[in-house]
Amino acid sequence: MKISILFILLCLVAGKAFCQADTVKAIKYYKAGIRDQQNHNYQVSVKKLDTAIILNPDYTMAYFYRGLGKSYLDDNKGAIDDFNKTILLNPKIVRAYLNRGAAETRAGQLKDAVADYNKALALEPGNPDIYLALGIARGAMEDYQGAVETLDKVIKIKPDNEKALLYRGAIKGLENDYNGAISDLNRCIELNPKNDAAYMSLGGIRFDHNDKTGACADWNKALALGNKEAAALISKNCK
């Protein structure tokens, strides 16, 4: 097998340890693992990335993508471990902090998630995706004021960010900001009339403000869009 010019350059840049690893085979398994991940074959992808890492234990992006694969498989601990390794090898990969924060959020490690999102923002200020993730985490921590302020930043950058409007509207409802909640959720529905979660939240907010008729209408719209949780609410409250 001929050694490619790219491989020679990688050896020169990355150093002796990198070259001593079986890098050519590692790259082969890495690329195969990425293809499987893109095709949603996550278990197969993780196994191929395992092999890439065995062949080259310092393969930064193999850890990153294996972490993503484990996230898709709901292995949050494994994902966090892989993102830890990614960051240890290269502390400037924004997506590693963002995805580690997402895994921590799912695992209920909300303080750790907020810390990671703030680290990501330090590397990439003004990124609306990071603000969105941070706002959701703050909402989950019941820091509603902080969540709304963070989601405000998303919407300032991207006024039509459907997910930010959905979460901000729901949180405003929890904060008893009725008009603000209704405005955000209606805007969310304008952007996507098939957003069943927005109808569910609208219904809940209307019901809490004694608008039973409006709440039942919204829940029925959510049900028509396939939201199974709406059926129980309608059965219980809309007789």
pLDDT in tens, 189-214: 999 999 999 999 999 999 999 999 99
CA–CA distance, 234 with 238 (Å, rounded to integer): 5
Per-residue model confidence (pLDDT) at position 1: 43
Closest CA to 108 of 137, 134, 83, 84: 137
Q: Could you give the CA distance from residue 116 to residue 107 in angstroms, rounded to a whole number?
A: 14
Q: Is the pLDDT of residue 172 over 60?
A: yes
DSSP for 13-74, please give it: HH-HHHHHS-HHHHHHHHHHHHHHHHTT-HHHHHHHHHHHHHH-TT-HHHHHHHHHHHHHTT
Average pLDDT over the chain reads 92
Closest among 104, 146, 153 to 128, alpha carbons compared: 153
Q: Which long-range contacts (CB under 8 A, 24 or more apart) does 227-231 make?
A: 227/196, 227/197, 227/199, 227/200, 229/200, 230/196, 230/199, 230/200, 230/203
Helices and strands: H and E segment counts in the chain: 15, 0
**Is residue 150 very low, low, confident or very high in pLDDT (cuts 50, 70, 90)?**
very high
User: pTM for the whole thing?
Assistant: 0.84
SS3 state at 238: coil
CA distance 105 to 71: 11
pLDDT for residue 146 is more than 60: yes
Owner of token pair 């150093």: 15
Which structure tokens are listed for 7? 């491989």
Closest Cα partner for 144 from 181, 171, 164? 171
